[in-house]
């Protein structure tokens, strides 16, 4: 019985994000410390992958429109398959920085191009299918920290193995095995003949296409809402632990709050995508963004486990409401053959939002206290929601 191209893509997505995530969570800060780096080095190394996404997601999307999705996914698969083994050679912080930059290329290319492939495969039911693909990647993101922590935890019981870095070597070998599985599976992805030179209609220069895309108010405002959601998510995952500890929660309860949100997003995305297919995307995006702002505002005053758990779940639900509709809405508004560019710019702007959340949240927390970081995220969401509402009320020229 043949496996559908979409199921293959979801399987590749799960393996790819599992491989990417196990390389950094919880391994990366511990590996930096093992190499002798302090908190500043941890922050710098952690930011490199996000910076790679900001720089390369848009160009990767443009290239996938011109030379084909499968070629770009195969290129990212080569990075997934080779980067993990380079960690085994790292002895200095600067070497780790180079490896993280190279490894960051994999997800910077893979995610926007894979989402564009989903868009190509499905005209009807696009939101639901994008939701299922996101759920597959979230499963990989959810499983990786548990296995990575277990591997490192096993080796810390042996002082000699811990000092030699054997735990990190084992972890990056597992990461490499997953990367090799991505590489071999990618050959079974469909070739949709994107960028075929035999097509009769000539393609405009990439600069013209990029200019037209950046000038599309609907697409850019949707990207802004997605960036605001990722800004809020980055703030949540960074500052919830400290806020919860202050409220008297123990590490186990904090872990439940964080993992419950990921599970909620993974479970809700397909259903929310299907809802957007049937009832329209803009209203869903707006309602979800407003609800997310309310949830993260209440997080600033929450002071008990049950309230923090409930708000974490609700925030996860609102994130799924927005993100299950936003990518499909952008694909709907982009021209045929330009979905890769659209997904690329979405990926770049998302990474900007995700990076700025912890950065600006940290400034607010240092200046005014931890609750200010959550209120700052609420303000960003409110502003993005207002701009999106205005863009929908005013018809494009």
- pLDDT above 60: residue 197: no
Statement to judge: residues 26 and 170 lie in one domain: yes
Is 56 a member of any domain? yes
- pLDDT above 60: residue 52: yes
What would the mean pLDDT of 278-288 be, rounded to a whole number? 93
User: Within 10 A of 252 (CB to CB), how many other CB atoms are there?
Assistant: 7
Q: Strand, coil or helix: what is 391?
A: helix
Statement to judge: residues 52 and 107 lie in one domain: yes
Is 202 a member of any domain? no
Among left, alpha and beta (phi > 0; psi -120 to 50; other), residue 369 is left
CATH code, domain carrying 71: 1.20.1250.20
pLDDT band at 259 (very low <50, low <70, confident <90, very high): confident
Is 224 a member of any domain? yes
| Total of domains in the chain | 2
Statement to judge: residues 77 and 180 lie in one domain: yes
Is 256 a member of any domain? yes
Encode pLDDT of 20-50 as tens digits.
999 988 888 889 988 998 877 877 888 888 8
Range scoring the smallest mean pLDDT among 139-153, 178-192, 220-234, 267-281: 139-153
User: Within 10 A of 386 (CB to CB), how many other CB atoms are there?
Assistant: 13
| pTM listed for this prediction | 0.86
More confident position, 87 or 246: 87
- Looking at every residue in the chain, the average pLDDT score rounds to 88
Statement to judge: residues 114 and 247 lie in one domain: no
Residue 200: predicted pLDDT: 44
- pLDDT above 50: residue 321: yes
Is 209 a member of any domain? no
Tokens representing 394? 């005013």
Encode pLDDT of 114-160 as tens digits.
999 999 999 888 999 999 999 999 999 888 888 888 888 888 655 55
Statement to judge: residues 241 and 289 lie in one domain: yes
DSSP single-letter state for residue 301: T
Is 83 a member of any domain? yes
Statement to judge: residues 360 and 394 lie in one domain: yes
Statement to judge: residues 254 and 187 lie in one domain: no
Residue 393: predicted pLDDT: 74
Is 207 a member of any domain? no
Query: Of 192, 227, 256, which residue sits at a domain end?
Result: 192
Is 40 a member of any domain? yes
Encode pLDDT of 58-111 as tens digits.
999 999 998 999 999 999 999 999 999 999 999 999 999 999 999 999 999 999
Statement to judge: residues 168 and 274 lie in one domain: no
For residue 76, give its domain range.
1-192
Going from the C-alpha of 391 to that of each of 213, 227, 232, the distances in angstroms are: 15, 16, 21
Statement to judge: residues 27 and 140 lie in one domain: yes
Query: Of 138, 160, 192, which residue sits at a domain end?
Result: 192
Statement to judge: residues 242 and 159 lie in one domain: no
Encode pLDDT of 296-313 as tens digits.
999 999 989 999 999 999
């Amino acid at each position: 019985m043949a496996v559908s191209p979409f199921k293959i893509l979801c399987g590749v997505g799960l393996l790819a994000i599992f491989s990417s995530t196990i390389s950094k969570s919880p391994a990366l800060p511990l590996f930096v410390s093992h190499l002798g780096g302090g908190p500043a080095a941890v922050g710098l190394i952690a930011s490199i992958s996000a910076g790679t996404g900001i720089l390369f997601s848009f160009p990767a999307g443009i290239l996938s429109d011109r030379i084909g999705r499968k070629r770009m996914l195969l290129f990212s698969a080569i990075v997934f398959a080779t980067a993990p083994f380079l960690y085994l050679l790292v002895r200095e912080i600067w070497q780790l920085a180079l490896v993280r930059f190279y490894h960051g290329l994999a997800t910077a290319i893979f995610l926007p191009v894979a989402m564009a492939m989903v868009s190509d495969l499905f005209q009807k039911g696009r939101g639901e299918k994008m939701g299922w693909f996101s759920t597959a990647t979230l499963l990989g993101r959810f499983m990786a920290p548990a296995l990575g922590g277990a591997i490192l935890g096993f080796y810390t019981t042996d002082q000699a193995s811990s000092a030699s870095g054997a735990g990190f070597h084992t972890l990056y070998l597992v990461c490499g095995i997953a990367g090799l599985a991505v590489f071999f599976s990618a050959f079974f992805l469909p070739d949709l003949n994107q960028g075929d030179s035999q097509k009769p209609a000539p393609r405009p220069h990439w600069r013209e296409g990029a200019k037209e895309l950046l000038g599309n108010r609907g697409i850019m405002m949707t990207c802004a809402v997605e960036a605001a959601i990722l800004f809020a998510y980055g703030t949540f995952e960074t500052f919830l632990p400290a806020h919860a500890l202050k409220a008297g929660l123990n590490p186990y309860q904090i872990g439940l709050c964080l993992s419950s949100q990921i599970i909620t997003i993974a479970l809700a995305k397909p259903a929310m995508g299907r809802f957007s297919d049937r009832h329209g995307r803009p209203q869903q995006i707006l309602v979800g963004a407003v609800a997310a702002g309310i949830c993260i505002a209440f997080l600033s005053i929450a002071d008990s486990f049950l309230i923090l758990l409930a708000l974490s779940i609700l925030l996860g639900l609102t994130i799924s409401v927005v993100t299950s509709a936003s990518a499909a809405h952008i694909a709907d508004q982009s021209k045929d053959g330009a979905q890769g560019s659209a997904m690329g710019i979405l990926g770049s702007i998302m990474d900007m939002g995700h990076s700025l959340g912890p950065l600006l949240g940290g400034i607010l927390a240092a200046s005014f206290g931890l609750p200010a970081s959550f209120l700052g995220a609420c303000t960003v969401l409110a502003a993005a929601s207002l701009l999106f509402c205005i863009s929908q009320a005013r018809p494009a020229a």
